[in-house]
Amino acid sequence: MHGRAIGRLVTAVLAAALLAGCAAPARAPGPTSPTAGPTSPTAGPTRPAATDAYAHLAELQRITDAAGGTRSTPSPGYDAAVDHVAGVLRAAGWDVDTPTYRVAGRTGSGYRNVVAQTRTGDPEHVVMAGAHLDSVPEGPGINDNGSGVASLLQIAEQIGGSPGFPSTVRLAFWGSEEDGLNGSAAYVDGLDRPGRSAIALYVNLDMVASPNAGYFVQGGTGRPKKAGPPGSATVAQVLVDELARVGAVADRTGFDSESDYDAFVTAGIPTGGVLAGDEYDKTTAQAKTWGGRAGKEFDPCYHAACDRLDNVNRTALGRFTAAVDATLRHFAAATTPLL
């Protein structure tokens, strides 16, 4: 649940590659993780896209199949996914919590988000990213949004739990996105004022491996409500620049109220988002820029049982993973505030 922005696209495709050199300050490369792979921002302007997120996605497919075929909240598949994700993050050295939240009108002991953060960095300056871990009941949700989850798990392994950045990096895996955005809303609602102001920015990942992929970046464009809070344009521009560095020309689009960024936008936190498109058709102009098939959905398996591992675009997954990784490093490694 998130996609209508695609139907209201900013039609002009930015010449991101041309803008990249002048629109943003030089990247602060930051400490290099000992496990940093080809997505390291120090690897040069044309570094190849990572593909390791695909292994995380394959594991998520296996876990979801073994637990009933869906990760809707609540379900055995969702619980299994929470435990799995928490385990991967702990093994990568991150400090991990699974805070519970309640949904109005529901019985039960509550549901779990997964929140992980680095053991180093200023806790009052947090660079944050998140992806919803649940799926719709109809299927395993491998593009929507196993892809965002797999991307963040790969980034967690590449950055490691003690990267030594000046800022803390925090990653969230949300429940109940497909059920009223309740996981992320409860998390933001539960923060006190200092807790909210500590979050310097939030980057949302929701569907980053659509088979007929597009490269959309949300934030800082369109009417004020769609552009997000001040600072969102800066976050979005770094995402655009980093996508350009891995060969993807991004299209800027606005926020709606259809994914987990909504609570952060509403709270006034600078926000960016990435997505590869959902049930809307790719236009002729978009197919010219990005390849793929004009007049066909970005994801024909959107919210359907066929949203499985064989439905995903590994190139898009790798590019978005690399771009988000570099964006988080850019802001977390900065020694002076960038927003």
DSSP 3-state of 184? helix
Is the CB of 181 or the CB of 250 nearer to Zn ion? 181
Choosing from 59, 138, 157, 177, which is the catalytic residue?
177
Point out which span in 18-26, 136-144, 213-221, 308-316 binds Zn ion (CB under 5 A). Answer: 136-144
Token output for 45? 């302007």
Query: CA 9, CA 102: separation in Å to the nearest integer?
Result: 34
Q: Are the CB atoms for 6 and 259 separated by under 8 Å? A: no
Is the CB of 159 or the CB of 274 nearer to Zn ion? 274
| Nearest residue to 60 via CA among 327, 307, 321, 300 | 307
- Nearest approach, Cβ of residue 186 and Zn ion (Å): 17
Residue in 33, 120, 145, 271 binding Zn ion, rule: CB under 5 A? 145
- Nearest approach, Cβ of residue 17 and Zn ion (Å): 28
Is the CB of 198 or the CB of 217 nearer to Zn ion? 217
DSSP 3-state of 77? helix
Query: CA 274, CA 215: separation in Å to the nearest integer?
Result: 7
State the CB neighbour count (10 A cutoff) for residue 54.
20
The verdict on 307 binding Zn ion (CB under 5 A) reads: no
Query: CA 44, CA 132: separation in Å to the nearest integer?
Result: 31
State the CB neighbour count (10 A cutoff) for residue 302.
22
The verdict on 204 binding Zn ion (CB under 5 A) reads: no
- Nearest approach, Cβ of residue 260 and Zn ion (Å): 9
Asked if 178 is an active-site residue, the reply is no
The verdict on 206 binding Zn ion (CB under 5 A) reads: yes
Query: Which residues are tagged catalytic?
Result: 177
What residues line the site for Zn ion (CB under 5 A)?
2, 144-145, 206
